[in-house]
């Protein structure tokens, strides 16, 4: 969005119109979903330089605008023009691949299947040997899934070879289809098992472990996570997955010991939060509370208090601390922790932009915890006041 604003400012301060810059601005506007503004930019672009109509990218952007307006017939015409011009003008492979993908999608939508099949053959031939060939197959498969043509999508994914850069994505998409569309758990697992066997790596073992967790096989998932950890024993994300898998398999004592050893090695704050939550679920409230109080003391001296990542983490920590204190009967301390969480969240609000706030802020359910406290007949007025003031 900043790039778009800078470009708009630059163009507004320039006396002579620059058609290439306007074309670039239209592309950025499309990327941000501003299709009406992109259309206006293209109209201004043509009025300033009629020769821009010889640029294949111009017709490509026009097609994207038409597709957004569901004018598929016009989009197909523009994309055909763009591809035809691309054979005369120098255009990047990424743009050419994009043109093919969008045209394939439009043809499928209009149920012009034979044309789509011929076009796919043409795209494969033109992009043969390039990284974009597999990308066309993958993106085309995604469009077919949206059109509920599941078998067609699988046929395309099967054409992606192990040497292609997007092979991992293709295998993941294939597995996803087996689980969510074919409802075939065995085939879903087989995809991940074969990929891990062909490509033994941290990412493939993690994906396999996640797959087993998805189908509720945590015991087998543990083995996959252990293989991943053997390749990268200090990765906090892997350690976290392993800990959660141990909890899901009800190996609670083993999980506690595992977290403790991992924390000794890494001193990772997120792992401390997970261990404290585990203690709470095991009704070991004092142990969980002590971990969080110690972390608060440690963070006071080691972390910049205005750091946004820390502030977000601190809110979660204080909420969990309030939960533990409430469950253990320390109502006064629970109220204080929840107040601190609310005040800390206000600090977070001041630090983030409007765009970020829409993605980050979610209700932290402090009102639910306060309601539980109020049910215990403790300070109803104080609890009500706090509940009404929290809207994150």
Residue range 286-311, pLDDT digits in tens: 999 999 999 888 877 665 556 777 88
Q: What span, in angstroms and rounded, lies between the C-alpha atoms of 11 and 326?
A: 59
Residues 325/337, Cβ–Cβ less than 8 Å = yes
pLDDT band (50, 70, 90) for residue 179: very high
Average pLDDT, stretch 318-336? 92
Query: Does residue 70 carry a pLDDT above 50?
Result: yes
Query: Does residue 389 carry a pLDDT above 50?
Result: no
Query: Does residue 283 carry a pLDDT above 90?
Result: yes
- Please provide the average confidence, as pLDDT, over all residues in the chain: 81
Cα angle for residues 168, 172, 174 (degrees, 5° grid): 115
Residue range 363-376, pLDDT digits in tens: 444 544 554 555 55
Determine the pLDDT at residue 363: 45
Residues 107/147, Cβ–Cβ less than 8 Å = no
Query: Does residue 4 carry a pLDDT above 50?
Result: no
| 110 Cβ contact list (under 8 Å, min separation 6) | 72, 73, 76
The residue among 377 and 179 whose pLDDT is bigger is: 179
In percent, the amount of the chain with pLDDT more than 90 equals 28
pLDDT band (50, 70, 90) for residue 380: very low
Residue 304: Cβ within 10 Å count: 10
Per-range mean pLDDT, top range of 145-159, 272-286, 361-375: 272-286
Average pLDDT, stretch 116-143? 80
Query: Does residue 120 carry a pLDDT above 90?
Result: no
Determine the pLDDT at residue 51: 79
Query: Does residue 336 carry a pLDDT above 50?
Result: yes
Task: Tell me how far CA of residue 312 lies from CA of 271, 317, 349, 361, in angstroms.
Answer: 15, 9, 10, 10
pLDDT band (50, 70, 90) for residue 238: confident
Buried b / exposed e over 69-86, threshold 16 CB at 10 Å, is eeebebbbbbbbbbbebb
Q: What span, in angstroms and rounded, lies between the C-alpha atoms of 292 and 302?
A: 15
In the DSSP assignment, the letter for residue 149 is -
- HSE-CB for 111 with a 13 A CA cutoff: 1
pTM summary value:
0.58
């Amino acid at each position: 969005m900043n790039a778009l604003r800078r470009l708009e400012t630059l163009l507004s301060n320039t006396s002579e119109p620059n058609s290439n810059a306007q074309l670039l601005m239209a592309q950025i506007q499309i990327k941000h979903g501003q299709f009406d503004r992109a259309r206006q930019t293209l109209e201004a672009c043509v009025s300033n330089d009629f020769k821009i109509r010889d640029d294949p990218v111009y017709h490509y952007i026009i097609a994207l605008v038409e597709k957004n307006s569901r004018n598929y017939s016009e989009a197909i015409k523009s994309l055909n023009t763009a591809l035809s011009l691309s054979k005369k003008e120098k255009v990047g492979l990424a743009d050419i691949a994009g043109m093919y993908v969008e045209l394939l999608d439009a043809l499928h939508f209009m149920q012009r299947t034979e044309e789509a099949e011929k076009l796919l053959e043409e795209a494969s031939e033109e992009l043969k040997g390039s990284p974009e060939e597999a990308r066309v197959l993958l993106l085309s498969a995604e469009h077919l899934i949206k059109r509920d043509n599941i078998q067609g999508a699988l046929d395309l994914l099967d054409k992606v070879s192990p040497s292609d850069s997007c092979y991992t994505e293709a295998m993941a998409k294939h597995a996803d289809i087996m689980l969510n569309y074919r409802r075939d758990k065995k085939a879903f697992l087989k995809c991940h098992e074969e990929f891990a066997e062909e490509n033994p790596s941290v990412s493939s073992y993690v994906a396999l472990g996640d797959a087993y967790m998805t189908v509720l096989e945590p015991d087998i998932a543990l083995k996959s996570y252990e293989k991943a950890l053997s390749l990268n024993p200090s990765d906090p994300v892997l350690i976290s997955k392993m800990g959660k898998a141990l909890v899901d398999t009800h190996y609670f004592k083993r999980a506690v010991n595992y977290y403790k050893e991992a924390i000794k090695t890494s001193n990772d704050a997120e792992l401390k939060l997970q261990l404290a939550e585990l203690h709470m679920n095991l009704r070991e409230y004092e142990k969980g509370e002590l971990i969080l109080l110690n972390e608060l003391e440690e963070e006071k001296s080691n972390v910049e208090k205005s750091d946004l990542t820390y502030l977000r983490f601190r809110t979660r920590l204080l909420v969990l601390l309030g939960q533990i204190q409430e469950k253990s009967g320390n109502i006064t301390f629970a109220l204080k922790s929840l107040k601190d969480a609310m005040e800390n969240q206000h600090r977070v609000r001041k630090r983030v932009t409007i765009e970020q706030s829409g993605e980050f802020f979610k209700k932290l359910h402090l009102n639910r915890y306060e309601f539980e406290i109020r049910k215990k007949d403790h300070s109803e007025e104080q609890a009500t006041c706090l509940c009404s003031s929290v809207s994150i």
